Structure formats: C-alpha cells, structure tokens
C-alpha cells in the first residue's frame, strides 16, 4: 500500500469512527463519511464493501481481544482439579475482568461502538454471546459440584440466563455511562462480590 493509499485509509477509518460515535451504525451516513474523509464513494468502495465492513475494521480486533481474555479465564478454570473449583469460584473471572476493564479503557471509543452503537451489525450480540458461554460454563461447574457429591439445587436455565445477563449488562454499563476508570474498577469489583455471594448461596457453597 502506497503512502497515499495508507493516508486515504486512515482518513476513512477516522471519519467512519466519528460518524458511528456521533450517531450509530444504522443512522450513520456513508455520504457524510466519504465527505469528511475527502474521498469519493467509488474510492471508499476500493477499501471497504460497505458500512458494516468499515465498522468491523474499527472494532473486530478489539472484540476478539476481549473474547480471548474471557475465554482464557474459562479455560484456566476448566483446567483446575474438580475438587478445587468450588474454592476458585470468582478467582479467574476477577482476574479476567480486571484485564478486560484495563483493555476497554485503552480502546474506549471502539467499545463505545461495540456496546452502544452496533445495532444492525453482527456485534450487537456481543454481550449476549458472552452470556451464552457463561451460562454453559455455569452448568458445567454445577455438574462438577454434583460429581463430588454436593447437593446443588436445580437452577432453571432461564433464571441462570437472567442472572448472567444482568451481570454482564451491569459490567458493560461502565461504557454506556462513560465512567472514569478508577470508578469503573471499583464498581466492577463490588458488582462481582455481589454476584459471587449470590451464586455461593444459590449453589449451597461456602467460598473461602
């Protein structure tokens, strides 16, 4: 890519980011984007197939990074001996949430796009996808507890989904409300304490 092409690409990305942040994906105008970038519509299509491809170019790397942090915590928990999992409930997730918050604040605009401006794109299900993974992992954890002879009450999947969805939606409100990082880290920690205590009681566990 020539210097001119590189500059044009940067201008399109910058204009797209500004347009999506000001409006949202559905409301963003391709006409405004190309005008701000100083390129023709034809030139735009030389770089992107459309608005969604431009949106993806802005956020895909960061969406994958957060999902990788999240999945790494799930995998670390799965590697634990079955008898140790109960006392580790919340340990790996607390570490991963700290990493997630740090990463979000390094790329705040991109996560503003993902969480608040992505309706109409594949990223509008970002939180939902994390919730679905967490729900499945929760039931695997319950199965592990029962395999050790623990008397774990039945938890309806709909209820589990509501609890997990509330947790993730609450965590990502730090983006919606433009919280300062120091406040966000404090609130997320307190939020997680609340959910760990609630899950411990629901599952009949005493967490050390």
Q: Which residue, 53, 187, 75, 174, is CA-closest to 123? A: 53
**Highest mean pLDDT: which of 16-30, 72-86, 182-196?**
16-30
pTM here is 0.88
What are the pLDDT digits (tens) for 120-133? 999 999 999 999 99
**Residue 16: Cβ-neighbour burial (10 angstroms; 0-12, 13-18, 19+):** buried
Count, residues in the chain: 208
Taking the C-alpha atoms of residue 65 and residue 82, their distance in angstroms, rounded to an integer, is: 28
The number of beta carbons lying within 10 Å of the beta carbon of residue 120 is 15
| Placement of tokens 């309806």 in the chain | 156
């Amino acid at each position: 890519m020539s210097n001119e092409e590189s500059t044009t690409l940067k201008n399109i990305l910058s204009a797209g980011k500004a347009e999506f942040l000001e409006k949202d994906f559905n409301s963003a105008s391709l006409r405004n984007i190309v005008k701000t970038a100083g390129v023709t519509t034809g030139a735009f299509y030389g770089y992107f197939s459309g608005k969604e491809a431009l949106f993806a170019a802005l956020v895909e790397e960061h969406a994958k990074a957060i999902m990788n942090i999240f999945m790494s915590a799930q995998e670390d928990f799965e590697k634990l001996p079955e008898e140790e999992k109960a006392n580790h409930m919340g340990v790996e997730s607390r570490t991963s949430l700290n990493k997630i918050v740090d990463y979000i604040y390094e790329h705040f605009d991109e996560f503003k796009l993902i969480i608040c401006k992505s309706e109409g794109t594949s990223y509008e299900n970002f939180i939902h996808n994390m919730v679905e993974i967490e729900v499945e992992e929760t039931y695997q954890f319950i199965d592990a507890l029962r395999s050790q002879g623990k008397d774990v009450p039945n938890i309806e999947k709909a209820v589990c989904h509501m609890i997990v969805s509330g947790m993730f939606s609450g965590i990502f409100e730090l983006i919606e409300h433009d919280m300062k990082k120091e406040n966000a880290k404090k609130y997320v920690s307190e939020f997680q304490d609340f959910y760990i205590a609630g899950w411990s009681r629901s599952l009949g566990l005493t967490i050390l």
